[in-house]
A and B are shown apart, each in its own frame.
Chain A
């Protein structure tokens, strides 16, 4: 086992798992579904930084119901990192009290991040909380949580692109691909 920071790696983008067209088609489908479910209401979409940002922007742009986009940043676990406990590092500007909150995630695997966020936001007394994730990896699930809307189920181990990064690289790719280490 070696720390990636000290490893001499030259990661490369491998097989494309989801093309730009496939992603955009699915995002449009999710937006339609969410718009129907929220008919007559206004959504407070909460994008979880940084990975969910491209997905959240594209999703909100396609919603046919009014939606406000907010961003929430939480500390990220890093091996040997200084952060010992998860915490909010960038809070919402608009408080969710009484609002219909839609948490927007790039990927849900163990579900611990979503479990944490749901618990934190629930304490702020929103009218409702739902979750949407572009990618779901349910075979890794530990927390008893299920996203309300799922773009794609995936099983590949290392994915990058469309917000997903490897050491802050590859987020800007318009597609999602496997990473070759």
Chain B
């Protein structure tokens, strides 16, 4: 497996990192903390394509890694019609890294979770 760690020293965290890309990710992290589930934020970048010199030309960094379940999680709040490029990357990732478990939570799924949290997105 070829992967590039973006945070070589990333540790399992139960505190908030400096910043999340989206408020829903921060809410998700708080909720994981609530259940005592360990998580790492954007800790691993998976290489998806390389040029002839071996340089990575395309990569994918899942939002979360949950070591308790050995599961990567990707939250997307984009409208379904805008998800296509991300889905293409996910397909590629699954082809290149078939043993990696990744759960994608789409806009509707994220809304469902936020609804549970008492938030209307």
Contacts and interface: CB of A to CB of B under 8 A. Distances in A.
A1 B119 contact: yes
B27 A79 contact: yes
Interface residues of B, number: 29
Interface residues of A, number: 32
Interface string A119-136: 000000000000000000
Given A1-B24, A86-B34, A141-B103, A79 B69 contact: no
A83 B33 CA distance: 11
Interface string B56-76: 000000000010010101000
Contact of B35 (A2, A86, A144): A86
Interface stretch (A27-35, A42-50, A108-116): A108-116
Interface in B17-44: 23-24, 27, 30-31, 33-37
Interface string A57-97: 00000000000000000000111010111100000000000
Interface in A137-178: 137, 139-144, 157-158, 167
B27 to A, nearest CB: 6
B12 interface: no
B120 interface: yes
Interface string B90-121: 00000000000001010011011111111111
Contacts of B33: 84-85
Contact of B114 (A1, A84, A139, A143): A1
Given A86-B35, A112-B37, A77 B103 contact: no
Interface of B: 23-24, 27, 30-31, 33-37, 66, 69, 71, 73, 103, 105, 108-109, 111-121
24 contacts: A1-B23, A1-B119, A1-B120, A77-B30, A77-B31, A78-B117, A79-B114, A79-B118, A79-B119, A83-B34, A85-B36, A86-B34, A86-B36, A109-B113, A109-B116, A110-B113, A112-B37, A115-B35, A116-B36, A140-B113, A144-B69, A157-B112, A158-B112, A181-B120
